[in-house]
C-alpha cells in the first residue's frame, strides 16, 4: 500500500515530467523550423504562411529563433490559449471542438465546490474516528487510508454526514448536468440553424434496397422514391463495391512515394545514378535505374487500375444495395430520414447521410444481413478482451500492493524493502504500467468498430469510445479494486474466518484511492503535458522534411495536425468523472488531483484545438448524450458503492436513506433523455421548413440538382492524371439522372463510351479538408470539374 512518502515520490516525478514537457514545448514552438508542427491549423486555414527567405537574413535564423527577447515570454501560450471566445472557437474549429472543451469546464464546475466541501467537512470527520489504528495488525493500511471512510467506526452516527454529502453532491452534479445539457442542446440548434447550405442537409442514405428482377438498382431506387416522395425526390447516386480498387490505390501511392524519394535524391545529386534490384524487397534480381523502374511500375498500375475501374462499372454485381438519395428541400429529406419507408421494416432503411468527409466508404460494401452477425461477434470479442486484460491489470495491482505480496512471498522482501525502489514501485510504476497496457487498446477497439459495419467516421469513433469506456469501467476501475483487494488483503483472508471477508473488502475498497492517485498523476498530469509537446509528429515531420519534401505542397503534406482523439479521450475523461464522483465521499483526498487534471487538460486541449487539430468531420456535438449518460452512470455507481460500504460498517439505521437516491437519479436521467436528447437524434421539421422558405426567398434561382450532383461521388471516379498540380476543368451536365452513366453515341465510327462528370460542391473550399474522392489543387478557380472517359 502506497504511503504518503510514496505518493510524494510519484508527485515529484510526474510534476517534474510535466514541467519538462511544458518547458520543452514553450521553447520548441518558438523555433521557425517547428512552426508547421505546432501551428498547422493556421497554415491549413490560410492564416499563416512560410516566411519568404530574405537575402540579408542570417541563414541560421531560418531554423533557430535568434531573438532572445522572445524567450522571456515563452509562457505566453497559456494566456493566449484562453483568449479566444467560445463563438470564435466554433467558427475556427467547429462545434465538436467547442463542446469537447466544455466537458473540462463541466468537470471544474462539478468538482471545485465538491472538493472544498469534502476537504473541510469529511476529512475531519474521518480522521477523528481512528478505527484503522486498531486494525493495523489485521489489514494493510497507510496514512492516506486514515483520511477515508474506512477510518470511521462501525455503527457510528458519523455516517449520516457521508450520506448527507452524497445527497448534496448528487443534487449538485445533476443540477450542473441539466444546465449543461440545456446549454449544449441550444448550441447545437443554433449551430445547425446558422450553417450555410450543406449537401448532407438534403441527402439521405438508403440501405438494404431490394432487388427487383429485370430492373437495375438505379431504376428501382428511382421508381420507389418517385412514387413515394414525388414532390421532393431529386436524384440519387449509386454506391459501388470498390474495396479491391482501393487497395490498388494504396499500393500505387506507395510506389509514388518511392518515386518521389528517388527523384529527390537525384535532384540533389544528379551526378549519381540511382539503381535498385528488381527482386523481392530489393534484395536480389537485376539492378536497374530506380526512377525508370518506379515510373514503369506506376504506369503498369495505372493500366491495371483502369481495367479494374471498368470492371466495377460494367459489372452489375458491383453495385451495392445502398444509395445516397437527394431531395429538393431539407423538409423532404427530414421526412424521409425519420420515417419508415416500407411495410417490411428491414427494407428501404433510411437515415441521414453523413457529410462527405465523414463517410467510411469501405463499410458501404457490407451486406445488410451480415451486420447483425458482425455485431454479435464483435460483442463477444469485446467481452473476451475485457476479461483477458484482467491478467495484466492484476499484475499492475501486485506492484501497487507490495506489503500484501511480501506476506505471501517473503523471499522478495530484501529487494522490495529498499527505500527508493519501494517508493518507485508503489508510487510511480503501477500508473505507468497501466498506461502502457492501455496504449494499443484504442486502435484495437477502432478496428473492431470498423468490422461492425458503421458507415460514418463519427459513428465509428463514438462506438469505439463506448467500448473503451466499458473497458475502463470493468478493468481500470472495478478490476483494479477487485484484483488489488485480492493481492493486498490475501494474508488477512487466509487467516481470518469467512464471516470477516465482507468487512475486509468493505474497508479495502476505499484504500484503492492511492493507486488511482498515482494513475491520475501519470496519465492526467504528465500524459496531458506530453500531448502538447507532440514528439511523434515533430519527429515524423522533420524526417519527411529531410528526405521527401521538395516543394511547398510536399511540406504541407508532411504536416500531421491530427484531431481530437475522441475514441480515447472521451472515455478517459469519463473515467476521471467516475473517480471523482465515487471517491468524493469515500476518500476525498483524491479530489485535488482530479482538479489539477481538469485545469491542465483544459488549457492544453484549448491550445491544441486553436493551433493544431484539424477535425476530419463535424457531428454538431452528437457525442454529448453519451457523455451525459456516463456521468449519470458514475453517480449510480458511487451510490451503490457507498450503500455496500455502509452495509459492511453495520450502519443499519442510516443505510435505508440511500436506497431512494438511485431511483431519483434514474428519474432525472429519464427526464433529461426525453427533454433534450431528441435535439441530438432528429432534425425538427419546423426548422427544416423555415430554412427552406428563407433559401427560396433569398436564392430563387438556385439549381439544387447541380449543387448536389456529385457531393457523394464514389472514390472510384477520382482522377489519377494530375499534371502540374492542377486539374483541368470541363463540365457537360446534360444527364437526366445525375450520378449515373449516360450513354452517348459519337458521330465517328469509334466505339461508344461512358462519360462521368464530377463537380466539387461550392460549399467546399481550399480551407477545408477534401471530401473522399476529391483532389484540391493549391491554387485554382473556385469551381473544379473532373472529366472521366471509360471505354465501353
- From 27, 789, 150, 201, select the one nearest 508 (Cα to Cα): 150
pLDDT in tens, 678-735: 988 888 888 889 899 988 888 888 888 888 888 887 766 654 443 333 333 333 333 3
* pLDDT for residue 789: 34
Is 483's pLDDT higher than 70?
no
Q: Do the Cβ atoms of 203 and 185 come closer than 8 Å? A: no
121 vs 385: which has the higher pLDDT? 121
Q: Are 587 and 132 in contact (CB under 8 A)?
A: no
Polymer length of the chain: 792
Which of the 8 DSSP states describes residue 229?
A: S
Q: Characterize 569-603 residue by residue with b for buried, 16 or more Cβ atoms within 10 angstroms of its Cβ, and e for exposed.
A: bbbbbbbbbbbbbbbbbbbbbbbebbbbbbebbbb
Average pLDDT over every residue of 776-787: 32
Asked whether the beta carbons of 95 and 107 are under 8 A apart, the reply is no
* Over residues 616-629, mean pLDDT: 92
What mean pLDDT do residues 132-160 have? 67
Cβ atoms of residues 606 and 551 within 8 Å? no
Give the whole-number percent of the chain exceeding pLDDT 90.
27
Residue 581 pLDDT greater than 50, yes or no: yes
Query: Does an H or E element contain 277, and which?
Result: strand 275-277
The per-residue pLDDT for 394 is 65
Average pLDDT of span 451-471? 91
Q: How far apart are CA 282 and CA 285, in angstroms?
A: 8
Confidence of residue 469 (pLDDT cuts 50, 70, 90): very high
Cell numbers 540511382: residue: 274
- Mean pLDDT to the nearest integer, 421-440: 63
- In 3D space, the residue among 570, 485, 737, 766 whose CA is nearest the CA of residue 104 turns out to be 570
Q: Say which range, 56-65, 259-268, 605-614, has the weakest mean pLDDT.
A: 56-65
Specify the pLDDT at position 778. 32
Give the span between the Cα atoms of 389 and 384, in whole angstroms.
9
Q: Measured in whole angstroms, how far is the alpha carbon of residue 154 from the centre of its chain?
A: 45
Confidence bin at 750 (pLDDT 50/70/90): very low
pLDDT of residue 413: 65
What letters, b where the CB count within 10 A reaches 16 and e where it falls short, cover 669-706?
A: beebeeebbebbeebeeebbeebbeeeeeeeeeeebee
- % of residues, the chain, pLDDT over 70: 74
- The answer, yes or no, to whether residue 493 has pLDDT greater than 70, is no
Lowest-confidence pick of 227-231, 712-716, 751-755: 751-755
What pLDDT band is residue 585 in, cutting at 50, 70 and 90? very high
Written as nine digits, the cell of 638 is 458511487
The DSSP result for 28-82, as a single string, is: HTTSGGGHHHH-HHHHHTTS--PPPPPTTS-GGGGTS---GGGGGGTTTHHHHHT
pLDDT band of residue 478 (cuts 50, 70, 90) is confident
Q: Is residue 427 scored above 80 in pLDDT?
A: no
640, with CB counted inside 10 A (0-12, 13-18, 19+), is middle
pLDDT-derived band of residue 216, with 50, 70 and 90 as boundaries?
confident
Q: What is the pLDDT of residue 129?
A: 63
Query: Would you state the pLDDT for residue 188?
Result: 92
**Confidence band (pLDDT; 50, 70, 90) for 671?**
very high
| Band of pLDDT at residue 114, cut at 50, 70 and 90 | very high
Sign of dihedral through CA atoms 769, 775, 776, 782? negative
Q: Looking at residues 181-208, what average pLDDT do you find?
A: 90
Better pLDDT: 691 or 263 = 691
Summary mean pLDDT of the chain: 77
680 closest CA partner among 184, 177, 132: 184
Residues 325, 422 contacting (CB under 8 angstroms):
no
Of 585, 389, 383, 413, the residue nearest 483 (C-alpha): 389
Q: Is the pLDDT of residue 515 over 60?
A: yes
The residue whose grid cell reads 484482467 is 390
The C-alpha cell 465517328 sits at 748
Among 573, 666, 675, 684, CA closest to 623: 573
Place 583 in a pLDDT band, splitting at 50, 70 and 90.
Answer: very high
Q: Cβ distance 712 to 758 under 8 Å?
A: no
Amino acid at each position: 500500500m502506497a504511503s504518503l512518502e510514496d505518493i510524494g515520490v510519484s508527485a515529484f516525478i510526474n510534476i517534474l515530467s510535466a514541467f519538462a514537457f511544458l518547458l520543452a514545448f514553450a521553447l520548441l514552438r518558438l523555433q521557425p523550423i517547428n512552426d508547421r508542427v505546432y501551428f498547422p491549423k493556421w497554415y491549413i486555414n490560410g492564416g499563416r504562411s512560410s516566411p519568404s527567405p530574405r537575402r540579408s537574413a542570417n541563414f541560421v535564423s531560418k531554423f533557430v529563433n535568434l531573438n532572445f527577447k522572445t524567450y522571456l515570454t515563452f509562457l505566453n501560450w497559456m494566456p493566449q490559449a484562453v483568449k479566444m471566445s467560445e463563438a470564435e472557437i466554433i467558427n475556427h474549429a467547429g462545434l465538436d471542438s467547442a463542446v469537447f472543451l466544455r466537458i473540462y469546464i463541466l468537470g471544474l464546475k462539478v468538482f471545485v465546490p465538491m472538493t472544498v466541501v469534502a476537504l473541510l467537512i469529511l476529512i475531519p470527520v474521518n480522521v477523528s474516528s481512528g478505527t484503522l489504528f486498531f486494525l493495523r495488525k489485521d489489514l494493510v493500511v497507510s496514512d492516506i487510508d486514515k483520511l477515508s471512510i474506512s477510518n470511521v467506526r462501525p455503527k457510528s452516527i458519523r455516517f449520516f454526514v457521508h450520506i448527507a454529502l452524497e445527497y448534496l453532491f448528487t443534487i449538485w452534479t445533476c443540477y450542473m448536468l441539466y444546465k449543461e445539457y440545456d446549454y449544449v442542446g441550444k448550441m447545437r440548434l443554433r449551430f445547425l440553424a446558422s450553417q450555410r447550405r450543406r449537401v448532407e442537409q438534403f441527402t439521405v442514405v438508403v440501405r438494404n434496397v431490394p432487388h427487383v428482377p429485370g430492373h437495375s438498382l438505379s431504376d428501382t431506387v428511382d421508381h420507389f422514391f418517385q412514387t413515394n416522395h414525388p414532390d421532393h425526390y431529386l436524384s440519387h447516386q449509386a454506391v459501388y463495391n470498390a474495396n479491391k480498387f482501393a487497395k490498388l490505390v494504396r499500393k500505387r501511392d506507395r510506389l509514388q512515394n518511392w518515386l518521389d524519394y528517388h527523384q529527390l535524391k537525384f535532384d540533389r545529386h544528379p551526378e549519381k545514378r540511382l539503381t535498385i534490384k528488381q527482386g523481392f524487397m530489393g534484395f536480389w534480381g537485376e539492378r536497374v535505374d530506380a526512377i525508370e523502374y518506379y515510373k514503369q511500375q506506376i504506369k503498369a498500375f495505372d493500366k491495371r487500375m483502369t481495367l479494374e475501374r471498368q470492371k466495377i462499372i460494367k459489372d452489375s454485381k458491383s453495385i451495392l444495395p445502398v444509395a445516397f438519395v437527394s431531395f429538393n428541400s431539407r423538409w423532404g429529406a427530414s421526412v424521409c430520414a425519420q420515417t419508415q419507408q416500407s411495410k417490411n421494416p428491414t427494407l428501404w432503411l433510411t437515415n441521414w447521410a453523413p457529410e462527405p468527409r465523414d463517410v467510411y466508404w469501405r463499410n458501404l460494401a457490407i451486406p445488410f444481413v451480415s451486420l447483425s452477425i458482425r455485431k454479435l461477434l464483435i460483442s463477444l470479442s469485446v467481452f473476451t478482451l475485457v476479461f483477458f486484460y484482467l491478467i495484466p491489470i492484476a499484475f499492475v495491482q501486485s506492484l501497487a500492493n507490495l506489503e500484501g505480496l511480501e506476506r505471501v512471498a517473503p523471499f522478495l522482501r530484501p529487494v522490495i524493502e529498499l527505500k527508493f525502489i519501494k517508493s518507485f514501485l508503489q508510487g510511480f510504476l503501477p500508473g505507468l504500467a497501466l498506461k502502457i497496457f492501455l496504449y494499443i487498446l484504442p486502435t484495437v477497439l477502432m478496428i473492431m468498430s470498423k468490422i461492425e459495419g458503421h458507415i460514418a467516421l463519427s459513428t465509428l469513433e463514438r462506438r469505439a469510445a463506448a467500448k473503451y469506456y466499458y473497458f475502463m469501467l470493468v478493468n481500470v476501475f472495478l478490476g483494479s479494486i477487485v484484483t488489488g483487494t485480492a493481492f493486498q488483503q490475501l494474508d488477512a483472508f487466509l487467516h481470518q474466518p469467512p464471516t470477516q471477508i465482507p468487512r475486509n473488502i468493505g474497508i479495502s475498497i476505499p484504500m484503492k484511492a492511492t493507486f488511482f492517485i498515482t494513475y491520475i498523476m501519470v496519465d492526467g498530469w504528465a500524459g496531458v503535458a506530453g500531448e502538447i509537446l507532440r514528439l511523434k509528429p515533430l519527429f515524423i515531420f522533420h524526417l519527411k522534411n529531410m528526405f521527401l519534401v521538395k516543394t511547398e505542397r510536399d511540406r504541407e503534406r508532411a504536416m500531421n495536425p491530427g484531431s481530437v482523439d475522441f475514441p480515447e479521450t472521451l472515455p478517459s475523461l469519463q473515467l476521471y468523472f467516475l473517480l471523482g464522483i465515487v471517491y468524493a465521499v469515500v476518500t476525498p483526498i483524491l479530489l485535488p488531483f482530479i482538479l489539477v487534471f481538469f485545469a491542465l487538460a483544459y488549457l492544453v486541449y484549448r491550445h491544441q484545438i486553436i493551433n493544431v487539430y484539424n477535425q476530419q468531420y463535424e457531428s454538431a456535438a452528437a457525442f454529448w448524450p453519451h457523455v451525459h449518460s456516463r456521468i449519470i452512470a458514475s453517480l449510480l455507481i458511487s451510490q451503490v458503492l457507498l450503500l455496500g460500504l455502509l452495509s459492511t460498517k453495520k450502519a443499519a439505521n442510516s443505510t435505508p436513506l440511500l436506497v431512494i437516491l438511485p431511483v431519483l437519479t434514474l428519474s432525472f436521467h429519464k427526464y433529461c433523455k426525453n427533454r433534450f436528447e431528441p435535439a441530438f437524434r432528429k432534425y425538427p421539421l419546423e426548422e427544416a421548413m423555415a430554412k427552406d422558405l428563407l433559401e427560396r426567398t433569398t436564392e430563387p434561382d438556385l439549381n439544387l440538382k447541380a449543387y448536389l450532383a456529385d457531393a457523394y461521388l464514389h472514390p472510384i471516379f477520382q482522377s489519377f492524371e494530375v499534371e502540374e498540380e492542377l486539374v483541368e476543368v470541363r463540365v457537360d451536365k446534360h444527364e437526366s439522372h445525375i450520378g449515373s452513366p449516360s450513354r452517348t453515341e459519337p458521330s465517328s465510327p469509334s466505339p461508344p463510351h461512358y462519360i462521368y462528370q464530377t463537380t466539387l460542391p461550392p460549399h467546399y473550399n481550399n480551407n477545408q479538408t477534401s471530401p473522399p474522392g476529391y483532389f484540391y489543387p493549391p491554387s485554382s478557380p473556385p469551381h473544379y470539374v473532373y472529366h472521366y472517359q471509360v471505354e465501353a
